[in-house]
Amino acid sequence: MAVIDRKKLILEAAAKSLSLYGYKATTMDQVAKLANVGKGTIYTFFKTKEELFDEIINSLIADIRFEVEGVLDDSASILDNVNNVLVRIHEIRESHQLTIKLIQEERDMGTQTVVEAMQRVEQSIIQYMKAIIQKAIDKGEIKACDPEVAAFVMLKMYFSLVIDWQRNHPPLKKEEIAKLFELYLLKGLLA
Amino acid sequence: MAVIDRKKLILEAAAKSLSLYGYKATTMDQVAKLANVGKGTIYTFFKTKEELFDEIINSLIADIRFEVEGVLDDSASILDNVNNVLVRIHEIRESHQLTIKLIQEERDMGTQTVVEAMQRVEQSIIQYMKAIIQKAIDKGEIKACDPEVAAFVMLKMYFSLVIDWQRNHPPLKKEEIAKLFELYLLKGLLA
DNA sequence: CAAATGACCATATTAGTATTTTAGTCAGTT
DNA sequence: AACTGACTAAAATACTAATATGGTCATTTG
């Protein structure tokens, strides 16, 4: 179309700057310049810097959801589905430029807005997983349980294993983690 | 005895100061004054502030081990033992003045020395739990598995449930957490 | 005249620096 | 020989001047 979509330009510019510099180091002047737009224009679409940021996080959440849906397979077992979802999310965390930058900023500077945003992302991931688990319960594949707690436990356990474990040990291979999931969460330890 | 045990005085003073003010805000002058000792004397027993601190962390680790051994019961099930141990450790985290202060400093200021110390404490807890789990494996109570990974998973899961879960939900009761442990780790989710 | 702009402002952040504090030493005292 | 506390170099902090930033709004533009 002939009319330039300024809102889109702004969102793209902001996303780019956030990916490169993080939240704190992204200024509204910077975004305006990158988007070839007057700074005031940004404020016709977004009330504050935080609102602009939140909209980009919404896109990120949508992207992740899209990726997650891509690896879901209704005919696969719950173990495979959960595992594939978690592996995919972990891959995104490690390859997606924006995610990398935000995790870094959260860890190194503890920027409040970023901490909150990452918690929102985590919450949304738990919600997808909750739905997956609910389906498995409905199918009778696993026992009845609170699907949200189950999703929470799985996510925490997965990231403990791939991230925290490495602090003092050689990293676990993907298949090892899958085995551990099967043992601890599905089969149980009881002899 | 007639001769004053200056090393003990110093350790007590340092422990007190650490409990009250944390690592950063505890100064060697402060410790010397509290211990009624010249500052130089401290350095006849401890090479650096960090070495003094490390010795106090060693005591903390020993205290925790003592507490843990107090709740262990050879005739109880592995589930009960693990649960009791984790509950006891959590109680210590919430009631022991030094622990409270250090967790706070780790979270709020990220003092490097404190972060490392807390990791050492965590590692030592994992080691006790590893031994408990190994015993259960030997007794044939649970399946053969890497006891260190099992200990790690249990600790992470427990603290996720009592600490992280509360960020977005009402806290889980002790019995609920015990039930969750039983379900996820021992029985497994499989229908 | 609606949409867009950028100079402008109050506030927040940073850089630069003076001041204080602190870990660790060591000459002197007990 | 054991202990001390004044001392020092280095680090942390407090203070201040300079800059940068989020957000506004009178003016311009298409």
User: Which of A141, A150, A184 comes nearest B191 by C-beta?
Assistant: A141
Backbone angles phi, psi at B103, to 5 degrees: -60, -45
- Which chain A residues are within 8 Å of B165, Cβ to Cβ? 149, 152
Q: How many CB atoms lie within 10 A of CB B45?
A: 15
Please identify residues in chain B, positions 40-69, with a C-beta within 7 angstroms of any atom of strand D: 40-41, 43-44
Q: Which residue, among A123, A128, A125, A121, has the nearest Cα to A54 in the 3D structure?
A: A121
- Which chain A residues are within 8 Å of B185, Cβ to Cβ? 184, 188-189
pTM: 0.93
Per-residue model confidence (pLDDT) at position B2: 45
3-state secondary structure A6-68: HHHHHHHHHHHHHHHHCCCCCCHHHHHHHHCCCHHHHHHHCCCHHHHHHHHHHHHHHHHHHHH
Q: Are A191 and B142 in contact (CB < 8 Å)?
A: yes
Residue B1 has pLDDT above 60, yes or no: no
Q: What is the mean pLDDT of chain B?
A: 95
Higher pLDDT, B129 or A3: B129
Residue of chain A minimizing CA distance to B122? A168
Please identify residues in chain A, positions 23-82, with a C-beta within 7 angstroms of any atom of strand D: 25-29, 39-40, 43, 47-50
Residue B177 has pLDDT above 90, yes or no: yes
Confidence of residue A3 (pLDDT cuts 50, 70, 90): low
Q: Report the alpha-carbon distance of residue A2 to residue A8 in Å, rounded.
A: 14
3-state secondary structure B134-151: HHHHHCCCECCCCHHHHH
Q: Where are the alpha helices (DSSP H) in chain B?
A: 6-21, 28-35, 39-45, 49-71, 78-95, 97-108, 112-138, 147-159, 174-181
Sign of CA dihedral A78, A83, A86, A89: negative
A97 strand C contact, CB < 7 Å:
no
- Judge whether B53 and B14 are in contact, CB under 8 Å: yes
Residue of chain A minimizing CA distance to B78? A190
Cβ neighbours for B17, distance < 8 A, ≥ 6 positions apart = B26, B30, B31, B34
Residue A1 has pLDDT above 70, yes or no: no
Q: Report the alpha-carbon distance of residue B23 to residue B30 in Å, rounded.
A: 12
Distance B48 CA to D11 C1' (A): 16
Per-residue model confidence (pLDDT) at position A178: 93
pLDDT digits (tens, 9 = 90+) for B34-62: 999 999 999 999 999 999 999 999 999 99
pLDDT digits (tens, 9 = 90+) for A100-139: 999 999 999 999 999 999 999 999 999 999 999 999 999 9
Per-residue model confidence (pLDDT) at position A2: 44
